[in-house]
């Protein structure tokens, strides 16, 4: 019979734990072997010599998960039973023999991780639902978890709220175990002033990372922010829609956990909490607003881990929709980092750079950008200047005339002053619709690309550099490694 479940992991559960401690409980212990896969969050375990498989059927509006038992069988498994197990784990493997022992099943899918888990569970009844406070002990560490389940989702939601929890903060056992050992797919959502960037990285049982998917959605969250000091209703709505879609994709890709951060636009907006609440309500994701300095540090971590940089001086800059971050260092060591309120959205709106622009107005915009970037004045020219973010990657894509974005081409591209000047003139003399026809330019960046190119040009001039190296790494990649890497 399918059952609805809510579960959370943590070191302590506050008054909920105290309440359970006052109730009549029964204690049960078991030794389980969980089979964990990067491609699935299904519950697949061996208990008492039997293979036990449960699959997620649906998630309701409260975030509760409905789980259905689909297999409980003795070993050796039949070919059909083995197919059910492998299918639940997302393994693209067709059984090739009549029956399978556990060792033969694991050999058929070498990417699986078999994790021994000793469970000690305290059972209680909570407002008509079943509750459980458990300790899961493994050779990788221990987890404490609390769960409420019932065939009736209303009973589960009421019991969870009665314990003082939000039902939407729901983490099942396979996800909790994979996070403990650092196995699986993890996602980062970077909410910027102009775009929402998204990456899913997959960490295999040998510790290696690979990118599953990566892209950016231009939502113009900061539209009108410089004028009003607040985020507008329409920019909030379209950005929340985009984040909800990305959260759904993460769920479909069996992501273990998702981290979301907000940058300049949310730092500046007077109503950023309203946006954060809307994302939490719609997508069940908490957006953490980070400082400009932390934004710069994480980007530096990502880029210096990716590019083959020497031990000389390095300046990394990221020009976004609402701000630009600068990090100065040597090799992988950071010496200084700061953020300035110089962004493409602000200057686009201030100087009407979203269409054909007279030479005089372009000069005014460049002068204003130079004034706001005065912290770069009188700096020594670095050995390496690296640019990241949508402005520089789009400039690189236009230089290569890429009809389809190819990160392997973008990464390591050298942009010189002459090319940046060529593109500034290209955009200055075209309307937004005409810019959209340019090969390599992301259509939704047509309005802000001229301002972004002007910021890049000013950085080159201020630092006395003839060129910069483009990287497609950024904040999201640094956060992915720091938040989800495991030894």
pLDDT in tens, 162-194: 999 988 789 999 999 999 998 899 999 999 998
- Confidence grade of residue 204 (pLDDT, cut at 50, 70, 90): confident
pLDDT at 209: 82
For residue range 83-92, list pLDDT tens digits in order: 999 999 999 8
CA atoms of 14 and 233, how far apart (whole Å)? 37
pLDDT exceeds cutoff 70 at 434 = yes
CA atoms of 470 and 394, how far apart (whole Å)? 10
More confident residue, 117 or 293: 117
Cα 485 → chain centroid: 13
For residue range 105-154, list pLDDT tens digits in order: 999 898 899 999 999 999 999 889 999 999 999 999 999 999 999 999 99
3-state SS class at 270: coil
Q: Which CATH architecture group holds 184-290?
A: 2-Layer Sandwich (3.30)
- Confidence grade of residue 402 (pLDDT, cut at 50, 70, 90): very high
Tell me the Ramachandran region of residue 74: left when phi exceeds 0, alpha when psi lies from -120 to 50, beta otherwise: beta
Quickly list DSSP for 272-285. Answer: HHHHHHHHHHHH--
pLDDT at 487: 56
pLDDT at 331: 81
pLDDT exceeds cutoff 80 at 94 = no
- Confidence grade of residue 297 (pLDDT, cut at 50, 70, 90): confident
Q: Which of these, 186, 190, 157, 197, lies nearest to 66 by C-alpha position? A: 157
Cα 433 → chain centroid: 31
pLDDT at 22: 84
Q: Which of these, 372, 380, 374, 369, lies nearest to 453 by C-alpha position? A: 369
CA angle (348, 351, 354) in 5-degree steps: 45
Most confident of 197-206, 207-216, 293-302, 424-433: 424-433
Q: How many residues are recorded in the chain? A: 487
CA atoms of 153 and 282, how far apart (whole Å)? 19
pLDDT at 88: 95
Query: Strand pairing of 113-126 and 26-36?
Result: antiparallel
- CATH topology classification for 304-478: Nucleotidyltransferase; domain 5 (3.30.420)
CA atoms of 487 and 481, how far apart (whole Å)? 11
Q: Which of these, 175, 137, 111, 142, lies nearest to 11 by C-alpha position? A: 142
| Residue 110, Cβ density class (10 Å: 0-12 exposed, 13-18 middle, ≥19 buried) | exposed
> Would you give the end-to-end CA distance of the chain in angstroms?
39
Average pLDDT for residues 294-300, to the nearest whole number?
88
Average pLDDT for residues 49-62, to the nearest whole number?
93
Backbone angles phi, psi at 437, to 5 degrees: -80, -10
Q: Which residues contact 90 (CB under 8 A, 6 or more apart)?
A: 37, 38, 39, 40, 42, 254
Q: Which residues contact 417 (CB under 8 A, 6 or more apart)?
A: 457, 460, 461, 466, 467
Quickly list DSSP for 110-157. Answer: TT-EEEEEEEEEEEEEETTEEEEEEEEEETTEEEEEEEEEES-HHHHH
- Could you give the percent of the chain with pLDDT greater than 70? 100
3-state SS class at 169: coil
**Contact indicator for 321, 265 with CB cutoff of 8 Å:** yes
Tell me the Ramachandran region of residue 456: left when phi exceeds 0, alpha when psi lies from -120 to 50, beta otherwise: alpha
Q: Is the backbone peptide bond immediately before 76 cis, with ω within 30 degrees of 0? A: yes
- Confidence grade of residue 486 (pLDDT, cut at 50, 70, 90): low
pLDDT at 313: 93
- Three-state DSSP string of 364-427: HHHHHHHHHCHHHCCCCCCCEEEEECHHHHHHHHHHHCCCCCCHHHHCCCEEEHHHHHHHHHHH
Whole-model pTM? Answer: 0.77
255-269, 300-314, 327-341, 354-368, range with the lowest pLDDT: 300-314
Q: Which of these, 470, 485, 395, lies nearest to 179 by C-alpha position? A: 485
- The structural domains of the chain, with segments of one domain joined by +, span 3-181, 184-290, 304-478
pLDDT at 311: 80
- Confidence grade of residue 363 (pLDDT, cut at 50, 70, 90): very high
Containing 106, the helix (H) or strand (E) segment is: helix 102-108
Backbone angles phi, psi at 96, to 5 degrees: -115, 10
Domains 3-181 and 184-290 equal at CATH topology level: no
Q: Under CATH, to which class is 3-181 assigned? A: mainly beta
- Confidence grade of residue 303 (pLDDT, cut at 50, 70, 90): confident
**Contact indicator for 176, 141 with CB cutoff of 8 Å:** no
Q: Which of these, 273, 292, 382, lies nearest to 343 by C-alpha position? A: 292
CA atoms of 316 and 321, how far apart (whole Å)? 17
Query: Strand pairing of 99-100 and 113-126?
Result: unpaired
């Amino acid at each position: 019979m399918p059952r609805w479940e809510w579960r959370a992991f943590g070191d302590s559960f506050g008054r909920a734990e105290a309440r359970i401690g006052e109730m009549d409980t029964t204690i049960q212990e078991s030794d389980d072997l969980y089979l964990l896969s990067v491609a699935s969050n299904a519950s697949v375990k061996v208990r008492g010599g039997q293979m036990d498989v449960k699959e997620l059927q649906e998630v309701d509006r409260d975030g509760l998960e409905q789980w259905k038992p689909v297999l409980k069988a003795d070993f050796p498994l039949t070919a059909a039973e083995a197919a059910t197990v492998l299918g639940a784990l997302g393994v693209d493997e067709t059984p090739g023999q009549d029956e399978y022992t556990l060792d033969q099943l694991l050999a058929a899918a070498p990417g699986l991780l078999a994790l021994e888990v000793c469970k000690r569970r305290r059972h209680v009844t909570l407002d008509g639902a079943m509750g459980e406070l458990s300790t899961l002990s493994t050779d990788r560490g221990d987890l404490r978890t609390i769960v409420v389940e019932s065939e009736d989702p209303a009973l589960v939601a009421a019991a969870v709220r009665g314990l003082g929890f939000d039902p939407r903060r729901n983490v099942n056992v396979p996800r909790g175990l994979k996070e403990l050992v650092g196995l699986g797919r993890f996602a980062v959502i970077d909410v910027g002033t102009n775009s929402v960037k998204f990456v899913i990285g997959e960490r295999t049982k040998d510790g290696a990372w690979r990118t599953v998917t990566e892209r950016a959605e231009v939502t113009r969250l900061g539209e009108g922010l410089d004028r009003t000091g607040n985020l507008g209703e329409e920019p909030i709505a379209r950005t929340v829609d985009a984040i909800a879609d990305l959260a759904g994709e993460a769920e479909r890709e069996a992501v273990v956990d998702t981290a979301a951060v907000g940058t300049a636009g949310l730092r500046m907006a007077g109503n950023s909490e309203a946006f954060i609440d809307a994302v939490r309500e719609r997508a069940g994701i908490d957006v953490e607003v980070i400082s400009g300095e932390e934004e710069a540090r994480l980007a530096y971590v990502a880029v210096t881990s990716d590019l083959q940089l020497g031990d000389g001086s390095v300046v990394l800059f990221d020009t976004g929709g609402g701000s630009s971050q600068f990090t100065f260092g040597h090799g992988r060591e950071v010496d200084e980092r700061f953020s300035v309120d110089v962004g493409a959205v602000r200057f686009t709106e201030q100087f009407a750079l979203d269409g054909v622009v007279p030479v005089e107005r372009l000069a005014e915009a460049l002068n204003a950008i130079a004034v706001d970037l005065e912290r770069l004045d009188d700096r020594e020219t670095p050995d390496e200047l690296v640019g990241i973010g949508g402005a520089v990657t789009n400039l690189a894509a236009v230089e290569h005339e890429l009809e389809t974005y190819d990160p392997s081409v973008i990464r390591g591209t050298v942009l010189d002053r002459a090319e940046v000047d060529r593109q500034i003139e290209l955009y200055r003399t075209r309307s937004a619709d005409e810019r959209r026809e340019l090969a390599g330019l992301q259509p939704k960046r047509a309005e802000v690309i001229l301002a972004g190119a002007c910021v890049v040009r000013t950085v080159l001039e201020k630092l006395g550099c003839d060129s910069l190296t483009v990287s497609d790494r950024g904040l999201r990649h640094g956060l992915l490694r720091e938040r989800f890497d495991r030894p």
